[in-house]
Amino acid sequence: MVDGSLTYRSNDLDDGPPLAVFEYHSGRSGEHVRAFLRDWRSHLMVDDYGGYKALFALGVTELGCMAHARRKFFDLFKANQNPTSFEALRRIAELYAIEAEARECTTEQRQHARRDAQTKLTEFKQWLDDTRLRTADGSALAKALDYSLKRWPALNRYADTGHLPIDNNPVENIIRPIAIGKKNWLFAGSERAGKRAAVIQTLFATAKLNGLDPAVWLKDTLEKLPTWPNSRLDELLPIKQRS
């Protein structure tokens, strides 16, 4: 999420073309996500924003982002070279090493490879518990530990499968240009303009994910639109199936 806007990204480990969807909203509310997803019920990776919690009571399965958990320890280590946070980073690095080795594997092969991750996650959880008992409440380290412990079932869930992602970095990557440049378009003019901008960002981001040059795709699409039949508009979408 960037301010009041929502970003959805398909899972790269699933079959099908990669997709991105941007939604503009004037405020941040879990109601917007529920309205978008409607009756959809599967795995959803989110941050720890409380507005999403109602989704999980409705049957959506929560996934936690390991990169978010890692960032808590990374910021702490960067600030004061804390040796305990370094140990957490080392353990998380082992999980990512398994993911790197299994990146080009099939779903079944990746699930098999993640058996090692399950063992390391069990050991990591024990380390988190033991370390938290020795850590003073209210400290920066306690907050980093509590973030992972509070979200542990969601953080751990990916390792039971071969198709769920370990983190939400694909979404972070597509919203980074918007987050960096948002001051340049701070005032879109109206909510209608904001919604239109979200549609444009959706098309351009999806084009990039599918290996297309957004400018080339847009020029080609605009040239075809005047004579293109409405019944075949889906064929103009910037996804891999496009001929």
Please write the tens of the pLDDT for every residue from 112-164.
999 999 999 999 999 999 999 999 999 999 999 999 999 999 999 999 999 99
How far is Cα 86 from Cα 24, in angstroms, rounded to an integer?
Answer: 38
Q: Could you tell me if 82 and 154 lie in one domain?
A: yes
Q: Residue 242 domain-assigned?
A: no
Q: Could you tell me if 105 and 74 lie in one domain?
A: yes
Please, what is the Cα angle at 134 between 128 and 135, to 5 degrees? 80
Q: Residue 26 domain-assigned?
A: yes
**pLDDT at residue 78 in the model:** 94
Q: Residue 138 domain-assigned?
A: yes
**pLDDT at residue 92 in the model:** 98
Q: Residue type for 64, please? A: G
How far is Cα 167 from Cα 117, in angstroms, rounded to an integer?
Answer: 14
What letter would DSSP give residue 166?
Answer: S
Q: Residue 243 domain-assigned?
A: no
**pLDDT at residue 189 in the model:** 60
How far is Cα 239 from Cα 19, in angstroms, rounded to an integer?
Answer: 8
Query: Final residue of a domain: which of 159, 191, 209?
Result: 159
Q: Residue 28 domain-assigned?
A: yes
Q: Residue 19 domain-assigned?
A: yes
For the chain, residues with pLDDT lower than 70 are: 1-5, 26-30, 177-191, 240-243
Q: Residue type for 193, please? A: A
How far is Cα 218 from Cα 121, in angstroms, rounded to an integer?
Answer: 45
Cα–Cα nearest to 55, from 156, 63, 69, 5: 63
**pLDDT at residue 119 in the model:** 97
Number of Cβ within 10 Å of residue 96's Cβ equals: 15
How far is Cα 172 from Cα 23, in angstroms, rounded to an integer?
Answer: 15
Cα–Cα nearest to 24, from 143, 199, 234: 199
Q: Could you tell me if 70 and 10 lie in one domain?
A: no
**pLDDT at residue 28 in the model:** 65
Q: Could you tell me if 86 and 150 lie in one domain?
A: yes
Q: Could you tell me if 176 and 211 lie in one domain?
A: yes
Query: Final residue of a domain: which of 109, 136, 159?
Result: 159
Q: Which residues of 162-197 are buried (b: 16+ CB within 10 A; e: fewer)?
A: bbbbbbbebbeebbeebeeeeeeeeeeeeeeebeeb
State which residues form the domain around 176: 6-62+168-236
Number of separate domains in the chain: 2
Q: Could you tell me if 69 and 131 lie in one domain?
A: yes
Q: Could you tell me if 50 and 88 lie in one domain?
A: no
Cα–Cα nearest to 10, from 205, 194, 170: 170
Q: Could you tell me if 153 and 230 lie in one domain?
A: no
**pLDDT at residue 243 in the model:** 42
Task: Answer yes or no: are the C-beta atoms of 11 and 31 closer than 8 Å.
Answer: no
Longest dimension (CA), the chain: 70
What does the mean pLDDT of the chain come to?
85
Q: Could you tell me if 80 and 199 lie in one domain?
A: no
